Structure 1
Amino acid sequence: MLTFRGNFQWLVFVITMLNMLVLPVLSPEKSHANTPESTDSLLLNTNDTSEQSSESVVENNQDNNYLLNQVTPLSEIVSPENRRANTSKPKDKNSAASQVNSVSQLSDVKPTDWAFQALQSLVERYGAIAGYPDSTFKGDRALTRYEFAAGLNVALDRLNEIIASSTGDLVKREDLDTIKKLQQEFSPELANLRGRVDGLEARAAILESQQFSPTTKLTGRVQIVLGSLLAGDNVLTKRPAPRVVTLQDSVSLRLNTSFTGKDSLGITMGGGNIESLGQTRAGLLGTFDGRTADNANVTRPRNDFSISGVRYRFPLSDKTQINIYALSDGANELGFTIPINPYFESSLATGSNGISRFSRRALVYQYGDSGGGIAVLHKFNQQFQVGVAYSAPNANNFAENNGLFTGRYLALAQVLYTSPKSNFRAALTYVNTYSPPNAQGLSGTNFGPAAGSNLVNSTVPGTGTVANLYGIQAFYRFSPRFAINGWVSYAAHRYLGRGDGKAMDWAVGLAFPDLGKRGSLGGLFVGMAPKLMSLSKNVDLGAGLGQADKDLSLHIEGFYQYKLADNIEITPGFIWVTAPDSNDNNPDSLFAWVRTVYRF
């Protein structure tokens, strides 16, 4: 948006307008040849969303319209009746801006100001200045197009009155001499300004013709990861896992498009070759324990670039938001709106924080893989928000026991409380999920939190599985440099026609923002990853009838995210898992991780 350097400079412009429009009436020898061809060259298109969101543009325009509406038309304030009214009634500082009859009424205008005499003349002789409601002129502030239009309107109204009155005593010869002098003195600046605006208009036209989209913003994240297992065995083979140093990568791009200024169409694309520490039984350690979060998609070739998320978000009302997604999950849509675990959770905009999948999310959020669905969020007030979501991981699959309503699904409901100072958050979450019988007859491939022990991620071959999950999560910021978060989750599994199982997890995370440097972050996390606590005697998930996880396994994680530059962070960290797969017979595993993130 075009702005002048200060209100005193639009004052010069108004004086010039007085010269150009008054002198031709009072001085017939004056020619129109010196009149600018058009004032359009001084006004640029304000539909610029390159530096701010569509929402902020709308808000700013509303603010400017408010200022414009606060300026009283000169025709209403220069009449003798209104002049008398202005002097007889006390001024209400909260009322709309009104005509000032003396420059002394403007509290921020001083006799030492360089344009004081010109301003005094416009106020006391021509009545062409209206102050702000707080009796200020704000001469050192940038001028918006709306304020310029309002001031110009006042000046033109006054000029029309002068011309209509046809009285020479309204404009004195010394004033005209002053106007001529000011016009000559500032003509180079006005000419320079006109040239700069013409150049900006040309550049803006080029940008508009070459831009990708007037409403689309591209953000991205590139990760380079150096990692190695330092200790640990494969829990299935009981042999030491390879201690190999790897250098891996991932790339994520997101296009955010707004059509109305309040909605958002998000398309996420990405690919990579990061092998997770504990992604599947076929992984490095033969268990889901210690699963890293930055891993590549296990169903696609490495470094295969593909769409990983499609979501359209729009407001149904001032307090209700609808998210329709063809590729995402309900936990994402609800969790990322107001993160309950902001220092460990990950998003494309803020970059990654916690190293493992477990440190970022509780068990109650972990059962939903990406798929199609809908999420609705409603804000009762500043403190309470409720959200519901329905996701189907295989919504795009036409095969039997798949699709949006006949296959695997996850239904989620959550109540979130945020304190007035936003330093405390707490959420109660409930999830109901169903996984149909596995067509391949293999257990553990389509159900579970994809974190923790192997048994908690297992099903009975050929049997459908239902689960009801319950979770409570909380976050408290003690100070700008220290915060704590934690959760407890419980899951009741029912292996249809066979029996029941019970699962649980808990965790505590400590965050140290601005540790060592502004923008850096330290994190320490301890918890029990999802574990099968009990199992019906007639159910066998691979360890024998009625066999649940036996021992306590602790997940201990630490990281330090050091801010190298505004958009670059390097994060060394570690994951230490005691008794992997909840079995004391398995030696502890220790994994080192150094992640560098570039965001744009």
Structure 2
Amino acid sequence: MKSGDHSIDFPQKVNQYVQLNSTPVTSVSQLSDVQSTDWAFQALQSLVERYSCIAGYPDGSFKGSRAMTRFEFATALNDCLDRINQRITADITDGVVKEDLATLQKLQEEFKTELTTLQGRVDIVEARTEQLEKQQFSATTKLNGQVIFAAVDAFGDASRSGDEDNSNLTFSSRIRLNFDTSFTGKDQLRIRLQASNIINPNAPGNEARVAFQSGSDTTNNVALSKLQYRFPLNEQVSILAATGFNTYFDDGDVINPLQSDVNATISRFGRYNAIYRLGGDTGVIVTYKPNRNIKAEAMYLAKNANNPGNGLFNSGYGALGQIVFYPNSEDPVTKIAFTYVNAYNEDGLGHNTGSLPSNLGGRKVSSNSYGIETNVKINSGFQVGGWVGYTSARALTGEVKGDADIWNWAVTLAFPDLGKQGNLGGIIIGMQPRLTNTSAPLAGLPRRDPDTGFHIEGFYRYKINDNISITPGLLWLTAPNHNSQNGDIFLGVIRTTFEI
């Protein structure tokens, strides 16, 4: 460096690195541990006021009594060189003292080796950062998992004829491991492995099916239970492609704060409107959200997508269209949805959410279903919601072809943070899918469910810590399978959930 020269050769990138790890100082009074009586006060004041090339630590201190290495001094020197270079470039020559330039020239020669070494280190870091940015496809996979242990018992008379409780206390378990990978920071690839050993209690119509029973395997065999990839097409449209035996339409927005089979409802019916179960297990979900007040979802799920004889479009399927409205754009919890599902099933229509109705079992059935779902946040500790679902089904095979009407409804009460933050209380009162009329019964069977049974459920999730929660719950089924000849059933569940 020469006095009066308008180009000073020193590493600019070192200074950028230093600035990221220090706090700029515009007045020496900003340094909390520098006093006016200190021997170096005037020197520091001159450097700050003349060249602004002194930086403090993030806590506002200077730490002048600490020993300094040659590399640390080189970085500080580099900062001052950069400040002076800026003044020379701007032709502020009167602000640069000739004697100071001479001193800096000597210092630059003395610390030439350290400055060159620092430049090399910064260049290496920048090269590695640039390489990592280019290799974003080599994403990091994160693991999260759930373990459920549950004691389940159904008790009560199986029928009005006097039969006693025919279901014993059972112990169930389910393990899930989710491997989540993102390639762009906005997308997600999920691979889920699952093993379970859950058998539902004995109950007419299988109406006592528990929420966390998913899939048919009950031998703790590990299986790939879900494979899905979610990615944004643009700021308003996102796409989810998925396959897995428990997909259905529950990857969409079902408008129920008590949906979770891990930390909320204890029953399968309590998760959402039964019309969401009319889909298959493989397909695509497209979500379009033009603004914060409205969202549209379109979904198609096939049942035999991996069968060459059927494929995606020549077997059972479900196609759903849904519009969700948010009255208050600042409140994502309060919303109302209008849902339509067109479905085709080759093995009947499961209107009891777990079994085939006898009047339609074994037939090819097409259906159109309509639903209204809502949830309203009353205050921070109370939400009220529910749904109504109607299915118009047509039997396409059998001796007598015809139509059937099926209804289900529920009212949900949610109590977030009940007792303490993280807890959840829930009440669900409703009617599981009921066959109200059919023009195509099987021989000797009624055209409709003879009575109306009700589903009454309550649970309380108690959060022990961030990883463990316990949920006791009780379900009361009146006239199970919508037949008063079946005695009331009570289902008790104590579910313990571990999450990592």
Q: Indicate the TM-score class for this superposition, using the shorter chain for normalisation.
A: 0.7 to 0.9
Could you tell me how far 1:557 is from its partner in structure 2? 0.6
The offset of 1:240, in angstroms, is 3.5
TM-score by length of 1: 0.64
Equivalent residues of 1:580, 1:586 under 8 A apart: yes
Cα deviation, 1:504-540, whole Å, max 9, x if unaligned, reads 111111111111222111111100111111111xx12
Identity in percent? 36
Structure 2 partner of 1:480: 380
Distance 1:510 1:171 in 2: 76
Give the number of aligned pairs. Answer: 431
Match of 1:332 among 221, 227, 250: 250
SS in 1 for 2:464: strand
C-alpha separation between the residues in 2 aligned to 1:234 and 1:39?
Answer: 83
Work out the CA distance in 2 between the residues paired with 1:152 and 1:534.
89
Give the equivalent residue in structure 2 for 1:290.
Answer: 208
Once the two structures are superposed, the pairs formed by residues 134-213 of structure 1 within 5 Å of their partners are 140=59, 155-160=80-85, 167-170=97-100
1:376 is the counterpart of 2:286: yes
What is the identity, as a one-letter code, of the residue corresponding to 1:227? V
Asked whether the equivalents of residues 416 and 423 of structure 2 are also in contact (C-alpha less than 8 Å), the reply is: yes
Q: Distance in 2 between matches of 1:289 and 1:591?
A: 10
Task: Please state how far the C-alpha of 1:159 moved relative to its aligned partner.
Answer: 3.8
Distance 1:110 1:512 in 2: 54
- Deviation, structure 1 residue 373: 0.7
Q: Partner letter of residue 511 of structure 1?
A: A
Q: Does the 8 Å CA contact 2:263/2:461 hold for their aligned counterparts?
A: no
| Counterpart residue type for residue 154 of structure 2 | L
Partner-residue secondary structure (3-state), 2:313 = helix
Look up the match of 1:114. 33
Q: What's the counterpart of residue 489 of structure 2? A: 589
Name the TM-score, length of structure 2 as normaliser: 0.76
CA shift for structure 1 position 555: 0.3
Instruction: Find the counterpart in structure 2 of residue 547 from structure 1.
Output: 447
How far does the alpha carbon of each residue in 1:318-355 deviate from its partner, in whole angstroms, 9 at most, with x for none? 110111123363512322xxx5212x1127xxx33100
Gaps of 5+ in 2: 4-9, 36-40, 62-75, 108-137
Tell me how far apart the structure 2 counterparts of residues 115 and 268 of structure 1 sit (CA, whole Å).
58
Question: Aligned AA for 2:215?
Answer: N
Matched, 1:451 2:353: yes
Asked if the contact 1:453/1:531 (under 8 Å) is kept, the reply is: no
Instruction: Tell me: CA distance 1:229–1:141, structure 2 relative to 1, closer, same or farther (3 Å).
Output: farther
- How many Å separate the matches in 2 of 1:309 and 1:245? 30
**3-state SS of the aligned residue for 2:406?**
strand
Pair 1:171–1:375, CA change in 2 (3 A)? same
Q: Distance in 2 between matches of 1:141 and 1:361?
A: 55
Runs of 5+ unmatched residues, structure 1: 1-21, 27-34, 44-63, 69-98, 104-108, 131-136, 143-150, 180-212, 278-283, 439-443
Question: Which residue matches 1:429?
Answer: 339
Q: Do 2:352 and 2:434's aligned partners in 1 also have CA atoms closer than 8 Å?
A: no
Q: Is the 8 A contact 2:196 2:220 kept in 1?
A: yes
1:535 corresponds to which of 438, 447, 451: 438
Give the stretch that moved more between structures: 286-295 or 109-118. Answer: 109-118
How big is the shift at 1:452? 7.1
Structure 1 counterpart of 2:225, from 286, 308, 318:
308
Aligned to 1:346: 260
State the one-letter code of the partner of 1:340: I
Contact 1:452 1:531 in 2 (8 A): no
Cross-structure match for 1:357: 268
2:173 is the alignment partner of 1:249: yes
CA distance in 1, matches of 2:461, 2:442: 39
Where in structure 2 are the equivalents of 1:400-411 lying within 5 Å?
A: 402-411=310-319
Amino acid at match of 1:398: P
CA distance in 1: counterparts of 2:102 and 2:77, whole angstroms:
21
Query: Matches of 1:589 and 1:219 in 2, distance apart?
Result: 36
Cα deviation, residue 161, structure 1: 5.5
In 2: Cα distance, 1:475 partner to 1:424 partner: 5
> Higher strand fraction: Structure 1 or Structure 2?
2
Q: Distance in 2 between matches of 1:386 and 1:305?
A: 36
**Alpha-carbon contact 1:226-1:595 (below 8 Å) kept:** yes
Q: Is the contact between residue 276 and residue 293 of structure 1 (CA under 8 Å) also seen in structure 2?
A: no
8 A Cα contact 2:374 2:386, kept in partner: yes
Once the two structures are superposed, residues 557-582 of structure 1 have per-residue CA deviations (whole angstroms, 9 ceiling, x without a partner) of 11110011111000111111000010
Would you say the 8 A contact 1:272–1:303 is kept in 2? yes
Cα 1:510–1:159 change in 2 (3 A) is same
1:124 paired to 2:49: yes
In the alignment, structure 1 residue 390 sits paired with structure 2 residue 290: no
What is the RMSD computed on CA atoms of the aligned residues? 3.9
Q: CA deviation at 1:127?
A: 3.5
Q: Which residue number corresponds to residue 218 of structure 1?
A: 143
Q: Deviations over 1:428-480 (max 9, x none)?
A: 110000013x4xxxxx5xx324527853x75254x421110110111111111
SS of alignment partner, residue 249 of structure 2: helix
Distance 1:303 1:139, change over 3 A: closer
Q: What is the identity, as a one-letter code, of the residue corresponding to 1:396?
A: N
Retained in 2: the 8 A contact 1:234–1:285? no
In structure 2, relative to structure 1, the CA distance for the partners of 1:426 and 1:226 (3 Å cut) is: same
Q: Which has the higher helix share?
A: 1
**Closer, same or farther: CA 417–115 of 1 in aligned 2, 3 Å:** farther
Q: In the alignment, is the contact (CA less than 8 A) between 1:319 and 1:380 conserved in 2? A: yes
